[in-house]
Amino acid sequence: MILVTGGAGFIGANFVLDWLATSDEAVLNLDKLTYAGNRDNLAALAQDSRHRLVVGDIGDRALVDALLQTHRPRAVINFAAESHVDRSIHGPAAFIDTNIVGTFQLLEAVRQHWNGLEPEDQQRFRFLHVSTDEVYGSLAANEPAFSETTAYAPNSPYSASKAASDHLVRAWHHTYGLPVLTTNCSNNYGPFQFPEKLIPLMLHHALTGKPLPVYGDGANIRDWLYVGDHAAGIRRVLEAGRLGETYNIGGDSERTNLQVVHGLCDMLDRLRPDPQGSYRRLIRFVSDRPGHDRRYAIDARKIRTELGWAPAHSFESGLEHTVAWYLSHATWVERITSGAYRDWLATHYQ
């Protein structure tokens, strides 16, 4: 059995679904079910005895201790995090509580569990911490992509809290010997993503005829990684990664935000034409967010050369899968775009 934390969120749920599609090893799933954690993401596993969802917080030490003692997982994969930059600007406290304090409590519970294992089980055990490329800061147009040795320079409350969690994981390995692995990924997209992030937000707005709000001049650059490729990369790191090491997982798909929005509009024009004209007509440039990093780019050579992983999807093929999924899952979108979600949009994009 493995323990996955945050496994009802976007990336975590995709990982759990992919894991159980390729392995019979059971998954114990601990998720707090905040606004971004959604039982519906795991509906396909409702009758699957290999999966158990426990509603709870990684910061609840008594709960985590009990789960580790009862189920004795061979690995813990930590997806649990507050992850939206915009929300961290408006309310950083939740990011400190979950990403820093929560990770600390989880590490301490895992360390106690690991110390009590038999030597053979200790050798087999892994703690894999899932992080972000945002911890590295911002790149100029001509700078080389982020590598695993790039100095941390986080610029938002979100990225600062994730950087702190990465440092804790590293310290628990070097100080206590905890067998850890860390992955830093680029911008994910795909099924089940909460529509506050760029791609699902634009899809939701376009299909409902609302303006498509693009920050600043739309020239901010991100590397885009299809979530299924990310899940495959994490599985590979868990299987063969060197203890204490960090592995960057990227899609090798740098695009400006405006290029992404244009691509989405053009794809919707083809798959679901609007009688009123191209979806591009809905694009509106809005005030940039504070401290908006200009460019992220991932150098994923380490995971390619050491572990043989590479993304299976180009940006275009991944986007095609993503748009097709959202078009065929309108009920899922309707269920999560509640009044609270509409209030958030009104506050943030006013």
Residues with active-site annotation: 133-134, 158
What are 232's two structure tokens?
């495959």
Do residues 197 and 222 touch, judged by C-beta distance below 8 A? no
- From the number of C-beta atoms within 10 Å of its C-beta (0-12, 13-18, 19+), residue 175 rates as exposed
Written as one letter, the residue type at 213 is P
At 310 the three-state DSSP class reads: coil
What's the CA gap between 340 and 81, in Å, rounded? Answer: 20
How is 117-151 classified by DSSP, letter by letter?
A: S-HHHHHH-EEEEEEEGGGG----TTSPPB-TTSP
What are 38's two structure tokens?
């959604």
What's the CA gap between 151 and 169, in Å, rounded? Answer: 16
| Contacts of range 169-172, beta carbons closer than 8 Å, 24 or more positions apart | 169/103, 169/107, 169/127, 169/129, 170/244, 172/107, 172/111
Strand order in the sheet with 2-5: 51-55, 27-31, 2-5, 75-78, 126-132, 180-185, 246-249
Q: Cα dihedral angle (217, 222, 104, 51), rounded to 10 degrees?
A: 120
Q: How many other β-carbons are positioned within 10 Å of the β-carbon of residue 328?
A: 10
Positive or negative, the Cα torsion across 174, 184, 42, 228? negative
